[in-house]
Amino acid sequence: MKNCVHEKGIRLIGDLPIFVAHDSADVWTHPEWFELDPDGNPIRVAGVPPDYFSPTGQRWGNPLFLWEAMESSGYSWWKLRMRILLETVDLVRIDHFRGFDQYWAIPAEEQTAENGSWVQGPGKSFFDAMLREFGCLPVIAEDLGLITPEVNSMRKECGFPGMKVLQFAFEDDWHQPFLPHNVESLSVIYTGTHDNNTTRGWWKEASPELRRNVCRYLGFESNEENIAANLTRLAWMSSSSLAITPLQDLLNLDGNCRMNLPGTISGNWIWRCTARQFDALNPNLLREWNEISGRA
């Protein structure tokens, strides 16, 4: 597939979750690299503390890495994982990038993520080892949520672009780092990600104050019919080196087509685009935005 899409001038972005499942082949074959008890059960599990998405945090339940053991192996598993992924895609979005600096460890018996603690991860030394192996890493760092100066420093030292999400840009003041006039070129800007509502659904749930902030920034009135197109165009006109919008926003679909609701297990990742919907895309409009924004 990679060679096929390259012939059409298309590049692929793949996702690399930082953690793996307890019942995965990886944990089964190398339990010595994971934080497990003698019976093979997780001692502590992964997640994030209470945040924008959930008042009780997110308990993902993945077993945690024993980073010293992985380092002593030369990060062999990580190198193989990255090599195989790069055979399939051109760019890799590392999910939960901050977990390489510090990760949230939750006692396995806890039912929510509230009673965890931050634990030091491998830090930049991990990426130094990966850079020595691959020469360069075509990586997008998912640096959303509670991000510390240490995480920002690690990302910049590695030369990885971070993520900017327009749906998060209008809730505070005009110094918000996700606003297009504040973003750095070493970044990837999104209208929303797979964890967000569709932009149309987000607008429908937005407060009157947030809607006013959006319209003030755009300089004209927006509504449920045009907000997805307006934010997509705004992302295209930003200084971010790469702009991405979910297909649901290009199709102006509502919250019923949301991809994922963080912190929930069922009902996610079931939306599929139909051929009829795809045929409704306006390629001329996309071409126009690419030309006037210099992204052609």
Within the chain, where are the H helices? 2-6, 25-29, 67-72, 76-86, 124-134, 149-158, 199-205, 208-218, 227-236, 247-250, 275-279, 283-293
Average pLDDT, the chain: 95
- Give bridge partners of residue 142 from the DSSP assignment: none
Which residues are CB-neighbours of 219 under 8 A, at least 6 positions away?
Answer: none
Residue 264 reports pLDDT greater than 90? no
Helix (H, G, I), strand (E, B) or coil at 13: strand
Residue-range domain boundaries for the chain: 162-296
User: Among candidates 94, 118, 19, which has minimal Cα distance to 61?
Assistant: 19
Distance CA 246, CA 259 (A): 10
- pTM to 2 decimal places: 0.92
265 — pLDDT class (breaks 50, 70, 90): confident
Model pLDDT, residue 172: 78
pLDDT tens figures, 137-164 = 999 999 998 899 999 999 999 999 999 9
Give the length of the chain.
296
Q: Which of 35, 101, 143, 195 is catalytic?
A: 195
Indicate if 37 belongs to the active site.
no
Q: Which of 35, 101, 142, 143 is catalytic?
A: 142
Structure tokens at 81: 């994982």
Residue 52 reports pLDDT greater than 90? no
Distances (CA, A) of 190 to 37, 84, 124, 144: 41, 26, 26, 12
Helix (H, G, I), strand (E, B) or coil at 216: helix
Model pLDDT, residue 51: 81
Structure tokens at 29: 């074959």
Residue 263 reports pLDDT greater than 80? no
Return the higher-pLDDT residue of 55 and 257: 257
Q: Which of 95, 110, 254, 288 is catalytic?
A: 95
**Residue for token digits 């051109």?**
90
- Cβ(48)–Cβ(104) under 8 Å? yes
User: Among candidates 24, 115, 102, which has minimal Cα distance to 63?
Assistant: 24
Indicate if 15 belongs to the active site.
no
Helix (H, G, I), strand (E, B) or coil at 192: coil
Distance CA 18, CA 82 (A): 11
pLDDT tens figures, 63-120 = 999 999 999 999 999 999 999 999 999 999 999 999 999 999 999 999 999 999 999 9
Indicate if 173 belongs to the active site.
no
User: Among candidates 83, 69, 71, 73, which has minimal Cα distance to 133?
Assistant: 83
